[in-house]
Each structure stands twice: as structure tokens, then as C-alpha cells.
Structure 1
Amino acid sequence: MDIFTSPHVPPSLIAAVTLYPFLFIVLGKQQWVIDILPKKSDTQKYYHLCNKIVASVHSTIMTSTGLYLLLTVDWSKNDISTYKTPLTPFLVGLELGYLTQDTAFEFYQRARFGVGSNLILFHHVSVILGSVYYLYALTLDNPGPFFIGMLSLMNMSTPILHFRWVLQSRGCKFDESRLKRFVDTALMVTYFWCRIFGNWWMGVAIGAKLGMSWYQAPFYIGKKFTITTTTMFLMNVAWWLILAKQWFKSFKNFYFPKEIASKKID
């Protein structure tokens, strides 16, 4: 079977694994990208920046398309778990393609610079396996557009996360920059809304449709959603708790600074 005509290989998958690396290469040659970071930044820092810009572009496309999918489908007339739409395989293919190239970049970064995140790597591999299982084993018979649309909205916090990294790289601190305080707060709120509350809301919506509790819904709608969404939910909760701890510490130090009593030495 020709891979380019296979119903299991959306064109968005092929586009992502070719266009995203191309965008990465183009960004690496742009002066405005180089000017974003301090001049003393090393090669690995610029590599990381280009990767984050590509991730932000991908996240914007995913969020916009996922939001369009959720807002344009009449869920009162179309079942939220079986309704078919071309946007569903588009989103899954795009996410799979992006994560595939980004995981390859992660291995390359480890080999070239000796740095990398095991947690991010595990997250990428988990979602890749889930996406492959969705596209190939399930033959797109039950696309679950509501789930895919809601999962796509999880990308909403990514551009904010990367902009926060840029501010930190430029030396901006919570207690010195209003912009940094605003971005940190926006990230914590947005991350919770789109990655934790949104994941929970999927269960609520499906449960209401099937007449059961939110935590029972994923088990009735299919194992393909249960394993992936549960794993992502637990990881997102862990990441948010780390983020919230950092934010609370910065907030406390800024608004409630410790008073240091100085003693005079006679």
C-alpha cells in the first residue's frame, strides 16, 4: 500500500516531519532570532530557542484548529465520540509529526550538547505511541473528535511557556519585571485550564452524554482514550504542581519579603 495514499497517514503527518525541520533550519539563519538572546549565549541556547519557536508555531496551529473543531460541530446533532470529521486525523497527524521530529531533535541535542530532559522525552514517546496506535490500529473508524479537539487545546499554554523561557534567558526575574510576573501568572492559570481542567472536562462531557460519572466515561468510550488521557493527565498535574510551587515561592518573596534585621556591632 502506498504510504502517501494510505488512510492511516494523514498529509499533515508528512507535512509536519518535513516543514517543521525546514522551519527550524530557516530560523537558525535569521538575525532577528539571534538578537532575541543575549550576545553571550552559546550555540546550544540558540538551538533551544529555534526549537521553542517551532513548538510555538505548532501549538498555535493545533490550538486554533482544535478550537475551530469544537466550536463548529453541532454536538446536539452529532455524537461527541463517533462523529467523523477530516480535522480529527489532521490534528492527530500534525501532533504525531511534530513530536516525531521533536523527539529526533531531543536525541540530537543530547548527542551534540550533552543535555536533555528525560521527562520531556518520556512525554513525547508516550504521546507518539498513543498517536500511532490511534492512526494505524484503529483505522480511523472511531475518531473521537471531541477528545482530539480538547487534547489539541492543551497546546494553548506552550507559547506562553516558551516566552517565559526567553524572559528568563534575558535575565528577567519575577521580583524585577512586571512582564515576568504577568507571564508567570498567565502560564500557571492557562496551564491549569487547558491541561488539567480541560482533561477533566472531557470526562464530564462524555459522562453527561452517556449518563454516567466523569471518571467512568473514558472506560466506556474506549481504551485508546483511557490510557493516553490518563497518562497525560497525571503528568500534567505533576508539572503544574512544580510550576505552582515555583510561582508561589516567587510571589511570596516579592510581596512578602523577609525582613532582615541588622545588628550593630559595637
Structure 2
Amino acid sequence: MDILNNPHVPPSLIGALTLYPLLFGLLGKLQWVKNILPPKADTQKRYHLYNKIVASVHSTIMTTTGLYLLLSVDWSKNDISTYKTALTPFLVGLELGYLTQDTAFEFYQRAQFGVGSNLILFHHVSVILGSVYYLYALTLNNPGPFFIGMLSLMNMSTPILHFRWVLQSRGRTFVNSRLKRFVDTALMVTYFWCRIFGNWWMGVAIGAKLGVSWYQAPMYIGKKFTITTTTMFFMNIVWWLILAKQWIRSVKNVYFTKQSTKKAE
């Protein structure tokens, strides 16, 4: 089998599987990257930092390319499901390559440091399986550029999430910090817009095209898209509720705990 010339294996998949691990290794050799964390940070935390930087680079590429795809196509003239563009398999291949190496990181982290997230692992495996199915079964027949463009925007909140982790690791964010409240609010709003509202808007767009309601749209796009988008939608809601709970706790500590203290005095 000629992998490089196979229409179901985009160059971006090979590139992601090659360049992201190389970037990970390079980050571990740069002293200024190591200096991002406090000197007392252990090996696991530094390893986690390198992975988060790779994730932020990947998310930026996905978001930028996804936005370009959505804004450069006249959807009033081109069908949202069958319009062919080279950017669609590029984005899917890039996402699949990234998630594959990041899932390998999750397994290594569990084996080496004894830590890991079952929810993240489940999310990665689910999207990997969906991406593989897409590349091997749908690339030639139904590229679905609108879906892929919208799904790519879900990466928009990732750099903010990782920036918050870096600040917390450096000890610069604490309960009453204005910076923490600003970053938490930006993360919660961005996450909701790109991962929950974006999923809903896909239903609106598909429904408008087919002449049905947004909640009926998933039934018309095939099981392959319905299962993937519905699973991701509910998982994103769970993540957002966790973020919202943290945000409410932060606001409560700032605006209510202080007042109670003053009254007590």
C-alpha cells in the first residue's frame, strides 16, 4: 500500500505525526521554555508544559485554517455538505495526527507518572475513531467542509485554557486575583461560543439548507455526523459546566466572602 499517495491519507496527517513530536522534543531542550515554570517544578509538570505548548500551536493552526475555510466559501452558492476543498482533509488529517500523538502522551503519562484524565482519554479516542472513519469512508464522496470548519473552531478556547494552567503553575493566579477572574471569564465565554453555540449553529445551518428545524437537522445528515457531533456536544457541555462552577466559586470568593468578612468586623 502506497501510504503517501493514498487519497485517504492527507499529507497533514503524516506532517502532524512527525512535526508535533519533533516540536515536543525541541521544547524540552530550550532553556527559556523550562524557565516558564518555577525552578521547583518536577519532571511531570515540565513534560505537561511541553505538551500544552504543542496543543496551543495545533489549536492556533486549526482555528486559523477553519476560519479561513468558513469565510472564503460562498455558502449561498456552494452546498455545505458536498463542496470540495483541499482544506477539509487537511484539517481532518491534522486533527487526527495531533490527537494520536496526544493520546500517546496520555498513556505515557499514566505509565510514567501515574496521572491522567479518563474523560480526556475517552474524548481523544472518540474523535480519533471518528476522524479515521471520515478519512477512509468519506473523503472522496462527502467532504463536509462546513462541518469540519465549524468543528475546527472548537480549538479556539484551548490556548486560553493552557495559559491559565501556566499562570496557576507559576503561582500568579489566586482566589482574589483580577487576572484569574479575567482569564476564567474569557475561557468560559470562548468555550461556550466555539464548542456549544458552534455545535448548535451547525444544526441551524443544516436545518435552513434542508428546510427543517435545527433539532431535526442531525437526523438528515447521516449517522456518521449525528453520532460524532452529538457525543462531542454533550461532552463539551460537561466540560463547560465544570468551568462555570469554578467561575462561580471565584466570583463568590471575591464579591461575597469579602463582604461577609467586613460585616463580621
Shorter-chain TM-score: what band?
over 0.9
Kindly indicate whether the alpha-carbon contact (under 8 Å) linking 1:103 and 1:121 is maintained by their aligned counterparts in 2.
yes
- Tell me, in whole angstroms, the C-alpha distance in 2 between the residues paired with 1:140 and 1:167: 44
Report the 3-state secondary structure (helix = DSSP H, G, I; strand = E; otherwise coil) of the residue aligned with 1:256: helix
Q: Matched residues in 2 for 1:58 and 1:140: separation?
A: 25
- Look up the match of 1:11: 11
Q: CA deviation at 1:33?
A: 0.8
Aligned 1:178-257 pairs, distance under 5 A: 178-257=178-257
In the alignment, the residues of structure 1 paired with residue 216 and residue 176 of structure 2 have an alpha-carbon distance, to the nearest angstrom, of 47
Q: Distance in 1 between matches of 2:164 and 2:173?
A: 10
Map of 1:20 onto structure 2: 20
Q: Is the 8 A contact 1:134 1:140 kept in 2?
A: no
Deviation at 1:215, TM superposition (A): 1.4
Write the distance in 1 (CA, Å) between the matches of 2:42 and 2:25.
17
- Report the residue type matching 2:14 in the other structure: I
Paired residue secondary structure (1:33): helix
Aligned residue number for residue 163 of structure 1: 163
After superposition, the Cα gap between the structure-2 partners of 1:234 and 1:6, relative to the gap in structure 1 and judged at 3 Å, is: same
Please tell me the residue identity of whatever aligns with 1:213. S
Deviations 1:43-65 (A, max 9, x none): 00000000000000000000000
Counterpart mapping for 1:1-266 below 5 A? 1-257=1-257, 259-260=260-261
Q: Which amino acid aligns with 2:242?
A: I
Alignment partner of 2:79: what SS? coil
Q: How many residues matched? A: 263
Asked if 1 retains the 8 angstrom alpha-carbon contact of 2:83 and 2:143, the reply is yes
Aligned AA (1:22):
L
Which range moves more in the overlay, 36-45 or 177-186? 177-186
Q: Give me the whole-angstrom Cα distance separating, in 1, the residues matched to 2:140 and 2:121.
A: 27
* Distance (whole Å) between structure 1 residues aligned to residue 50 and residue 177 of structure 2: 24
Letter in 2 for 1:55: A
Please say which of residues 92-101 and 137-146 is displaced more in the overlay: 137-146
For the 8 Å contact 2:59–2:158, the answer to whether it is kept is yes
Q: Deviations over 1:71-93 (max 9, x none)?
A: 00011110011111000000000
Letter in 1 for 2:189: V
Cα shift at 1:70: 0.1
SS of the residue corresponding to residue 182 of structure 1 reads helix
Shift of 1:262: 6.3
Q: How many Å separate the matches in 2 of 1:262 and 1:215?
A: 51
Structure 2 gaps, min length 5: none
The amino acid across from 1:70 in the alignment is L
In the alignment, the residues of structure 2 paired with residue 168 and residue 176 of structure 1 have an alpha-carbon distance, to the nearest angstrom, of 13
Q: Deviation digits for residues 154-173 of structure 1, max 9, x if unmatched?
A: 00000000000001111133
Secondary structure class of the residue paired with 2:257: coil
| Amino-acid identity (%) | 85
Letter in 2 for 1:98: Y
- Give ranges in structure 1 of 5+ residues lacking alignment: none
- Amino acid across the alignment from 1:200: W
Distance (whole Å) between structure 1 residues aligned to residue 70 and residue 237 of structure 2: 24
Deviating more after overlay: 173-182 vs 126-135: 173-182
